[in-house]
């Protein structure tokens, strides 16, 4: 009987994974922020000309470039290069369509896995609340989608 009562109490007391949020301060259209595991986070913002910019923060590769492996909801891994400065890496998509597809996947998926090419998983980023946060970036004249 005590085990039956204890389990729901423990589950209720466990910290919930943080939802995505929106910060209106960064210009021109604010920033959608998704916290991941291990101090890692993902940001979606507008870059030059309203193009999508996806930034990974919280991992310092110790070099100016890195190759990440990303996957939304087990739909297949994609390799994406990035330009890095300290613990901030701007993803460098090969095409506009690739960038749009990745951002759309984050909006409508439930989980993003981020890894390092041939070096294993780096972080897991729950996508709960990502659609609303990214929509707020898009609503502020960042019309890449």
Residue 19: pLDDT band (50, 70, 90) is very high
Q: What is the pLDDT of residues 88-112, one digit of tens each?
A: 999 999 888 888 899 999 999 999 9
- Assess whether the previous peptide bond of 70 is cis (omega < 30° from 0): no
pTM metric for this prediction: 0.83
pLDDT at 9 exceeding the cut of 90: no
Percent of the chain having pLDDT more than 90? Answer: 65
**β-bridge mates for residue 21, sequence order:** 33
- All domains of the chain, ordered by start, with CATH? 16-139 (2.60.40.1880)
């Amino acid at each position: 009987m005590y085990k039956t009562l204890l389990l729901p109490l423990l589950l209720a007391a466990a910290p919930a994974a943080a939802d995505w949020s929106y910060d209106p301060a960064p210009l021109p259209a604010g920033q959608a922020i998704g916290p991941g595991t291990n101090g890692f986070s993902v940001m979606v913002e507008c870059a030059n000309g309203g193009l999508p910019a996806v930034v990974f923060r919280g991992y310092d590769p110790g070099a100016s470039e890195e190759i990440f492996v990303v996957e939304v909801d087990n739909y297949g891994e994609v390799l994406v290069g990035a330009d890095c400065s300290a613990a901030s890496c701007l993803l460098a998509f090969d095409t506009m369509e690739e960038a749009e597809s990745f951002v759309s996947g984050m909006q409508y998926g439930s989980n993003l896995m981020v890894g390092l090419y041939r070096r294993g998983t780096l972080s897991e980023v729950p996508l709960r609340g990502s659609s609303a946060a990214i929509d707020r970036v898009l609503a502020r004249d960042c019309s890449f989608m």
